[in-house]
Amino acid sequence: MSFEGAMAYGDYLKLDRILDAQAPLSSAHDEMLFIIQHQTSELWMKLALHELEAVRRAIRADDMPTALKMMARVSRIFEHLNNAWDILRTMTPSEYTRFRDDLGQSSGFQSWQYRSIEFISGNKAAALLKPHAHRPDVVADLKRRLAEPSLYDEAIRLLARSGLVIAPEALERDWTQPYRADDSVRAAWGEVYRNPEAMWGLYDLAEKLVDFEDYFRRWRFNHVTTVERVIGFKRGTGGTSGVAYLRKMLEVVLFPELWDVRTAL
């Protein structure tokens, strides 16, 4: 039962550092919930980024088993993130107002990991680098992700390598720009969905991508409803329009042709 000089559970997980990272600025009881909710979400987003990077590399290497396995894991991560909103929603508006002023200008809008997930998923906008200008290291990493092909760009390239006809402009473009739906990509996915047995790997990848976007949309929706429930239509702490901005994000579609194909079939 002695672990002196050995690698113990707390040593391996660096629990002292993790459990000392909660430092409420007020005496409000619910500030601890608010801090832990956001810290743990950032940890899960770190894992999601780790997996999404692995998926993109696997698709580039035509390693479909790895890509499919990791995509399934990403969806489960976002399912967990969705469930976490239920805990934060136990905090009432009265409880939140007791420490909201102590947050200063801090806001989830400034999460660079969330921004990285958006970029790698294809929702790119150079203007969104501005909230991170005070962190040159973060900006450099985000610029790298902005300039790289997204997860969906790599999936489209895979379609072309698999013998499906894809327009050149969908294969080589300015990667810093958000993806725009393409007729040739829509037709290619249509062929995949009409012949799933013959193109099972592509078909399975398509469904895994839709699964991920489905959970991501739910995460955004839960974010909107939680914020509206707690602060109504006040402006966000970081200066955004709050619920109005979050509702606008609900309109973002990451993989448009994969949703269009359902109507076309």
Q: Is 127 exposed, middle or buried (0-12, 13-18, 19+ CB in 10 A)?
A: exposed
User: DSSP letter string over 53-80?
Assistant: HHHHHHHHTT-HHHHHHHHHHHHHHHHH
- Rounded to whole angstroms, the Cα distance separating 184 from 166 reads 5
237 is in an annotated binding site: yes
Residues making up the chain, counted from first to last: 265
87 with 41: CB under 8 angstroms? Answer: no
36 is in an annotated binding site: yes
34 is in an annotated binding site: yes
- Rounded to whole angstroms, the Cα distance separating 101 from 34 reads 13
Cβ atoms within 10 Å of 88's Cβ, excluding its own: 21
- Rounded to whole angstroms, the Cα distance separating 109 from 220 reads 12
120 is in an annotated binding site: no
114 is in an annotated binding site: no
96 is in an annotated binding site: yes
231 is in an annotated binding site: no
Annotated binding site: 34-38, 96, 100, 223, 237
Residue list, annotated binding site for heme: 223
Residues annotated in a binding site for substrate: 34-38, 96, 100, 237
